[in-house]
Structure 1
């Protein structure tokens, strides 16, 4: 006997012919930056562990570094909330502050902070342009009902 799979809210509310909502480019760009930072934090943890394990407790290095990596990757889940982007900015500062333990992070951290800023800026611009384009398309389809393309799910 197979266990029944639980459906998400979006799956329960879906009906045939419904258009798929457009995903936010800003969220996708920001998630990419945070995900890459998670990997960088993990590899920085390994570097600090190898270079400084006699100066700093090895367990503390591993716990702090792996925790930072997990938090960076987990923060992607909160980017749909308003405060999620502020969490990202705080994590940028934390990544730069790792430079006090491994000085190379004073170079890598600001480069990722610039990437974060650009992801938010470019993603917001693209999302705004997509909303404008979607509104213009909807207005055109409303004013030209006979010329609109086939409805979703209909053969072309």
Structure 2
């Protein structure tokens, strides 16, 4: 679920570049660096979520997306929505993994009887 959130977020971040350039008059280089830079980090992180440290990077992407609101004010709202979706996916995913581990332990225990 977290990978899906990061992938969708990357699309929105890439689409924020033209908004930064045409609506907010942000310098093209800065807009591309911020928008596409965060998008690339989000996509790479989505692919690396099998490693525990990648979740920390995912949290940092959320902070960066909300922080993009200082350049494009609507990104405060969009970033907060994605941060909430990320948090939900993160905590729900942890809960599912804990349930799977518990079920596996229970199944292993019932096989011994």
Normalising by structure 1, we get a TM-score of 0.66
> Do structure 1's residue 92 and structure 2's residue 56 form an aligned pair?
no
1:35 counterpart residue number? 7
2:104 counterpart residue number? 134
Normalising by structure 2, we get a TM-score of 0.89
Higher helix share: 2
Which of the pair has more CA radius of gyration? 1
2:85 equivalent among 92, 111, 115: 115
Structure 1 runs, 4 residues or longer, greater than 4 Å off: none
What CA distance in whole angstroms lies between the structure 1 residues aligned with 2:46 and 2:11?
13
The count of aligned residue pairs is 113
Q: Which runs of 5+ in 2 are unaligned?
A: none
What CA distance in whole angstroms lies between the structure 2 residues aligned with 1:56 and 1:106?
16
**Aligned pairs (5 A) from 1:5-154:** 29-52=1-24, 55-143=25-113
User: For the Cα contact (< 8 Å) 2:9–2:82, is it kept in 1?
Assistant: yes
TM-fit CA distance, 1:82: 2.4
TM-fit CA distance, 1:97: 0.6
TM-fit CA distance, 1:108: 0.8
What CA distance in whole angstroms lies between the structure 1 residues aligned with 2:95 and 2:28?
44
